[in-house]
Structure 1
Amino acid sequence: MTTPTPVSAEQIRAERADHAQLRDRDFADKFNITEAQLVAAFSGAGVTRIEANPDVVFPRLEELGEVMALTRNDSCVIEKVGRYSHYQGGVHASLVLTEEIDLRLFPRHFVTAFAVEREGKNGTTRSLQFFDAAGDAVHKIHLREASDLAAWDRIVADLALPEQSDTLEVAPRTPPEGAKSDPDKVEVLRAEWAKMTDTHQFLRLCSKLKMNRLGAYRIAGEPLARKLPTDTVTPMLEAVREQEIEVMIFVGNRGCIEIHGGPVRNLREMGPWQNILDPGFDLHLRLDHVAEVWAVNKPTKRGDAVSYEAFDANGTILFQVFGRRTDDNDSRPAWDAIVAALPSLQAETPAEPETA
């Protein structure tokens, strides 16, 4: 994507009035600006710049009561209704962990934030929106009818920044890394992978071997990683629905990963989108963006953790699905059987190391 074009706030507001039907993200793409620059252009007109540090903001969110948490990447959106609580901060990673809202936050990507109030045909909408250095959204929180508006007013007043400029400088976007592997280290990869006792050890192993997730999958081979056809997404979700099993669906970007833990009930395919439309949980996936799919087996001390993982053409992960684990077991036999029944696609082993 090209570098966002410098545009004045006045120009942005004028164009927005002429294209009111477009979603923020689509408008920003159309006019070669970032979503954060679009929101910033309305500072002082329903938009307030606020503190972006999760350690400052997220402990306050419980005051809002019921809200909707939204996280997305270019191809997949997840929305969960619930309450924020049990925030645990950290320098490199933080988390929110409730029955409904389960997040992993990476604070260095929470660079700019806004409180946004807009008048629409259904009344006033309110949201907190967080963006990375490039001006792309990492997480949004939308108030609902049951949310506490007095708490909203307090939070916005307390977190408002002295500087309320309607222009925003952004950094160039970091290009996608793509698959990165080293076939010369495949035996070490397989041996170390087989000895894992926790799923979180996998990315550390990749880093040690100077690979990444997709690169490791491409050379590991079965039974560790099995390539699947891209048209298995809907059959997989249909099987989860029909067997009424609980899964964990991970959707994220560089700054935030949001997780659904529970069943899948209502699937509705519309054009290129596959949608889950359940009470308190929506997911929207561009099926035509799924370019590569893998069934992955990661051993743990509580049993094998089997996942279904989809990537786009740039090698960026779109979503992951696991069987929902319990306190003492990472293995879900019904889920494992669903993945095992999906057809294989012959994976091509790279002849030489791939680089980003």
Structure 2
Amino acid sequence: MTDHSPADLRRIQAEDTARPFDLAARLDVPEAALVAAHVGHGATRIQSLPGQLIPAVQALGEVMALTRNRSCVIEKVGTYNDFHDGEHASMTTDPEIDMRMFPRHWVHAFAVEKGDRRSVQVFDAAGDAIHKVHLREGSDLAAWEALKRDLAVADQSDSAEFTPREPVEGPKSAPERLDALRREWAEMTDTHQFNILIRRLKMNRLGAYRIIGAPWVRPLSVDAVPALLERVNAQGAGVMMFVGNQGCIEIHSGGFQTLQPMGPWLNVMDPRFNLHLRGDHVAEVWAVEKPTKRGPAISVEAFDAEGALIFQCFGLRPEKGGDADQWAALVTDLPAPAEAAA
């Protein structure tokens, strides 16, 4: 990791217009170091845990919520309503700002002002972005001042210590437990049982997908990803799009109205929902079916070359306005690897 002083980082940022994520990668520093360098120069260190932070963010009113991983960015406009705190997991269940948060990864947080732009930015122990909140024209500026004042921490230094980034866990299978995987998969009654199941069998998500086979999992072509966006858009299908990282998952429920591909990026540019996806990062795509009490939960899931999950897309539940048959048919028609090669 390159050694830059906070003054160096402030100077470089003043002269460089690159996005912080890209600039941090180029400089070989954590993205959080770029923000920490501005403490005392427009940034304030604040409490990072969701239980303290999210109620203060809710008071801001309408904002833009942003969550990303290396390959995908989701942005939703709304208010952080209906917050439920928890030691291991917290959530907001507002129709627009729908999130799952894992507090142990919410380590560094800052309130940042740059000209007339204001944001809350949260990072993990390695300095990678977990979640960001961008104020909008109608956001409550008195609540913003209260957030800065009430959540400020004693340490207002312009540098920070970061731990090495944890490597991505590649696909982990246990072929000798395949019979147990198939048996217990068929017995699931809720999608939340899946993580418990694969942990017990010493596998992970991608490792299980690679070995279980039909009727539960089917490989798709990487071309299935743009096809998915195009068909959801064309058919007016309702979906639940999950995009996240180890500390936060943000969910869009609804359709995709405006598709704007640009170079390697596949973009959804709707008024209150944006998605930015690096199509060239997609290495594996799977159609997955899990049995539940309410019927099959069918998803399309994309992974990068290291085995990191990029996104999951489910059909919107019928009680939320989705059409299960439409979604099942849409997924069935997505291209398989052989079809793409042909």
Q: TM-score range by the shorter chain?
A: over 0.9
Contact kept, 8 Å, 1:309 with 1:319, in 2: the verdict is yes
Matching residue of 2:211 = 219
Where does 1:341-352 land on structure 2 (aligned, <5 Å)? 341-345=333-337
* 1:101-139 deviation digits (Å, cap 9, x = unpaired): 1000000000000000002xxxx1000000000000000
Task: Specify every segment of 5 or more residues in structure 2 that has no aligned partner in the other structure, as ranges.
Answer: none
- After TM superposition, give the deviation of residue 263 of structure 1 in Å: 1.0
- After TM superposition, give the deviation of residue 17 of structure 1 in Å: 2.2
Contact kept, 8 Å, 1:302 with 1:331, in 2: the verdict is no
* 1:245-268 deviation digits (Å, cap 9, x = unpaired): 110000000000000000111111
Contact kept, 8 Å, 2:223 with 2:335, in 1: the verdict is no
In the alignment, is residue 115 of structure 1 matched against residue 111 of structure 2? Answer: yes
- After TM superposition, give the deviation of residue 343 of structure 1 in Å: 2.8
* 1:61-100 deviation digits (Å, cap 9, x = unpaired): 2210100000000000000000011110111111011011
Where does 1:206-245 land on structure 2 (aligned, <5 Å)? 206-245=198-237
Matching residue of 1:353 = none
Task: Specify every segment of 5 or more residues in structure 1 that has no aligned partner in the other structure, as ranges.
Answer: 347-356
* Closer/same/farther in 2, CA of residues 257 and 158 from structure 1, 3 Å limit: same
Where does 1:282-321 land on structure 2 (aligned, <5 Å)? 282-321=274-313
SS across alignment from 1:302: coil
Task: Give, as a single letter, the amino acid of the residue that structure 1 aligns with 2:14.
Answer: A
Distance 1:262 1:109 in 2: 28
Matching residue of 1:58 = 54
Match of 2:193 among 179, 189, 201: 201
Task: Give, as a single letter, the amino acid of the residue that structure 2 aligns with 1:224.
Answer: W
Matching residue of 1:89 = 85
- After TM superposition, give the deviation of residue 193 of structure 1 in Å: 0.2
Matching residue of 2:144 = 152
Distance 1:154 1:276 in 2: 34
Taking every aligned residue pair, what percent have the same amino acid on both sides? 55
* Closer/same/farther in 2, CA of residues 113 and 36 from structure 1, 3 Å limit: same
After the TM superposition, which parts of structure 1 deviate over 3 Å for at least 4 consecutive aligned residues?
Answer: 326-331
SS across alignment from 1:274: strand
Contact kept, 8 Å, 1:302 with 1:329, in 2: the verdict is no
SS across alignment from 2:312: strand
Distance 1:329 1:314 in 2: 36
Contact kept, 8 Å, 2:79 with 2:94, in 1: the verdict is yes
In the alignment, is residue 18 of structure 1 matched against residue 15 of structure 2? Answer: yes
Matching residue of 2:94 = 98
* 1:184-218 deviation digits (Å, cap 9, x = unpaired): 11111011001100001011100000000000000
Distance 2:215 2:260 in 1: 33
Distance 1:330 1:274 in 2: 24
Distance 1:329 1:206 in 2: 31
Task: Give, as a single letter, the amino acid of the residue that structure 2 aligns with 1:5.
Answer: T
Matching residue of 1:352 = none
The TM-score, its normalising length taken from structure 2, stands at 0.97
* Closer/same/farther in 2, CA of residues 281 and 234 from structure 1, 3 Å limit: same
**Number of residue-to-residue matches in the alignment:** 338
Contact kept, 8 Å, 1:304 with 1:330, in 2: the verdict is no
Distance 1:274 1:78 in 2: 12
